[in-house]
Amino acid sequence: MPTRAALWNDLLDSLLALRDRVLDESEKRLAALDHQDPGLRLHPGVRNVVHYLVLRSVDIRPLQEALAREGLSSLGRCESHVLDSIERIIAVLRAATGKARGRASDASTTRDDEDASTLRSNTEILLGPAPGKRNTRIMVTLPGERATDLAFMKELLTSGMDIARINCAHDSPVEWAAMARTLRVARQETERPCKILADLAGHKIRTGPLATEEGVLHLRPMRDHRGRVVLPAHCRAAWKGNAQSPLPPVDCQLLPLETNRPPEVGEVLRCMDARGKERRLEVESVTDAGVTLSCPQSVYLMNGTPWQSDQHRRRHGHIAGIPETPTAILLAVGDHLLLTRDALPGAAAEPDHHQPARISCTIPSLVERLPLGQKVWMDDGKFGAEVVSQSPDGALLQITVAKPGGDRLFPDRGLNFPGLPLDLPPLSDKDRADLDVIVPLVDMIGFSFVESAAHMRALRDALSQRQATHLGIIAKIETAQAFHRLPEILLAAIGRQPLGVMVARGDLAMEVGPERLTEVQEEILWLADAAHLPVVWATQVLESLAKRGMISRPELTDAAMGERAECVMLNKGPYIGQAVHTLDDILTRMQGHQRKKFALMRALHWS
């Protein structure tokens, strides 16, 4: 068994060899960057990320285990100061073995006492100052329908929102401008800072439209476990005496035939619903915006359904204003779906005519490029499929993943083709037009579907053309190609523009596979830490709480993991204010236990 002195000499030799490898290989990589900008090699984030890439190009697990057994640092948290970590262990081993100092290391390396302040500075420049009680920011996606709701914006700010997100894939420039104006007033009135991010839509590949059919409004009462009615069914109906007047947000319209006088509270409107069943709709309230109707039974209403007042013979009419609904495409494992090359509305399968269900793709040119066996994911993983044949009409898919009994596919749902090179321009025509609108409104741009250094340079050029080089950029890592090219994407902007990284876990899971997502998101966190760049932890954080008001235990654990990032993003939902408040509490508590990969040991109070 080797003596302690021999063991430490071996460790010293291994570390010296590792340091020399990092220095020599890093110099080659930095020299390759000199053609872009000779000044890049002087940037501490650039140098450290190159050191980290070289370090992680070899398997050092045996060395780590040997160092840990001797009570030395195992390099497990060296992402942000690679060479400094190696040098500190070397210095300890030199002192222990009596060896003289050898080759000088990189003098410009980031030190252990500098990395945190560098990351903090970069984060504040991009995301704004940290809230007083926590370090991790909260980003919230703003809903277009609340664009002018000042009380709503103030609630988000006081609950803990630090960054407001405008999603350019939804709403219009009118709503975007209204969001920015309302938020500006809310910031002044609450005296809370809040930056604005605008996410470019990018080349989002989605399912096309579906054929529509006559709309049906189904009203359901709430029943208990024994089937007894607890609450009657309700709907809001506009009283449309004047066909030209604007309509408020309602479920349907009541079109009168003889009188323009609206019904009264307590009045009963009798009708035969779509199934031919007689139903009584009682008027619960009447306002200028319309009336509220209730019914203790289930009722199906359609446009043209006649109604008659029980109390007033001349007050009668019919139902209108129920929108058409998309044709249902129900898909189960083993079913076929034709992804068409044309933009015609999709439709359900027609078994009698041996026609599979069909739907179009928003980027038709991709359909003919799908090879046999290509995996396809739809609607954030609700459906998995595989290309089984190609024809002049499109690519025929066979469903391989769906919930038992099948599920419905809707229009405007995401499509992912793992491993397929998309070869799309970095910015779409819509992206360029949107930049003209949003540049004066926001503080940073979310770059959707960035996949290479060339893509990053294209966005930087577009911002330069609009005199907007001061705006920050958040590179959204959504595809497998973006993940594999993350180092070049970061090196194309570090030091030249405020920069951050978003782990867009929804699309990324479809690209790399849900089983590998945990590993991939960890690697993104590590690389961003090596570059001293802030990270946004995104997609489905507290999703059940924001959308349904229900807390899911796995989502709480996921939200707590987000403390390792500099920002956590929430999507919109009816209960978003509650979700912001809950996330604020979770992040505040967790920062006492963990910082990045470093477990903190604050005092615990077990009695």
Could you give the CA distance from residue 116 to residue 63 in angstroms, rounded to a whole number? 26
Pair 507, 531: CB distance under 8 Å: no
pLDDT on residue 116: 81
Categorize the per-residue pLDDT at 109 as very low, low, confident or very high, splitting at 50, 70 and 90.
low
604 versus 202: which is more confidently predicted?
Answer: 202
Among 141-145, 442-446, 447-451, 513-517, which is the least confidently predicted range? 513-517
pLDDT at 456: 96
Q: Identify the pLDDT of residue 243.
A: 46
DSSP state of 210: B
| Cα-based distances in Å from 476 to 125, 188, 234, 488, 562 | 18, 30, 42, 14, 16
Amino acid 121 reads S
Q: Alpha-carbon Rg of the chain, whole angstroms?
A: 30
pLDDT band at 1 (very low <50, low <70, confident <90, very high): low
**Cα–Cα distance, 262 to 285 (Å, whole number):** 11
Cα separation of 147 and 404, whole Å?
A: 39
Determine the pLDDT at residue 258. 79
pLDDT at 241: 54
Q: What is the DSSP letter of 169?
A: T
CA angle 253/256/257 to nearest 5° reads: 140
The pLDDT, as a whole number, for residue 178 is: 96
Average pLDDT over residues 555-584: 90
C-alpha span between 500 and 566 (Å, rounded): 10
Contact criterion met (CB below 8 Å) for 576 and 172: no
For 372-405, write each residue's pLDDT tens digit. Answer: 999 999 998 899 999 999 999 999 999 999 999 9
Cα separation of 7 and 252, whole Å? 81
> From CA 121, how far away is CA 262, in angstroms rounded?
62
Name the amino acid, one letter, at 550.
M
- Report the C-alpha gap between 287 and 439 in whole angstroms: 41
* pLDDT of 601 higher than 80: no
Percent of the chain whose predicted confidence (pLDDT) is above 70: 94
User: Model-level pTM?
Assistant: 0.82
Number of neighbours of residue 63 by Cβ within 10 angstroms: 18
| Spatial contact of 478 and 451, defined as CB atoms under 8 Å apart | no
The pLDDT of residue 242: 47
- For the stretch 188-212, pLDDT in tens is 999 999 999 999 999 878 999 998 8
Paired tokens of 184? 């500006």
Q: What is the 3-state secondary structure (H, E, C) of 105-130?
A: CCCCCCCHHHHHHHHHHHHHHHHCCC
pLDDT at 36: 78
| Residue range 299-312: mean pLDDT, rounded | 93
The residue-averaged pLDDT of 15-32 equals 93
Give the residues across from 195 on adjacent strands: 163
Q: Residue 395, CB half-sphere, CA atoms under 13 Å: how many?
A: 24
Structure tokens at 597: 């990969």
Provide mean pLDDT across the span 114-132.
89
CA distance 81 to 532: 9
In this prediction, residues 124-128 reach a mean pLDDT of: 96
| DSSP 8-state class, residue 497 | S
Under DSSP, the state recorded for 385 is E
Q: In b/e form, how buried is each residue of 530-550, taking b as 16+ CB within 10 angstroms? A: bbbbbbbbbbbbbbbbbbeee
Q: What is the pLDDT of residues 260-287, one digit of tens each?
A: 788 899 999 999 999 999 999 999 999 8
DSSP letters along 293-312, please?
Answer: EEESS-EEEETT-EEEESS-
- Tally Cβ neighbours within 10 Å of residue 523: 12
Q: Which residues contact 287 (CB under 8 A, 6 or more apart)?
A: none
Number of neighbours of residue 152 by Cβ within 10 angstroms: 18
Three-state DSSP at 569 gives: strand
First to last CA, the chain: 46
pLDDT tens digits along 49-72: 999 999 999 999 999 999 999 999
252: left (phi over 0), alpha (psi -120 to 50) or beta: beta
Percent of the chain whose pLDDT exceeds 90: 67
As a residue count, the chain comes to 607
Note the pLDDT tens digit of each residue in 141-174. 999 989 999 999 999 999 999 999 999 999 999 9
Q: Tally the C-alpha atoms within 13 A of residue 339's C-alpha that lie toward its C-beta.
A: 33
Q: What is the mean pLDDT of the chain?
A: 90
The pLDDT value given to residue 18: 95
Question: What residues have CB less than 8 Å from 346, skipping those under 6 apart?
Answer: 207, 208, 209, 210, 211, 327, 329, 340, 357, 358, 359, 360, 411
Q: How far lies 216's CA from each of 168, 303, 322, 349, 373, in Å?
A: 31, 8, 7, 21, 39
pLDDT on residue 492: 93
Residue 553: what pLDDT?
83
> Whole-angstrom Cα distance, residue 252 to residue 375?
42
Mean pLDDT of 561-572: 92
User: Which residues, other chains included, contact 225 with Cβ-Cβ below 8 Å and sequence gap of 6+?
Assistant: none
- The DSSP-derived string for 48-59 is HHHHHHHHTTS-
CA-closest candidate to residue 399, choices 342, 352, 338, 327:
338
DSSP string, 57-71: TS--HHHHHHHHHTT
Domains of the chain in sequence order: 4-110 (no CATH), 129-203+424-599 (3.20.20.60), 215-323 (no CATH), 328-416 (2.40.33.10)
Question: 316-359, pLDDT tens digit by residue?
Answer: 999 999 998 888 799 999 999 999 988 889 999 988 888 999 99
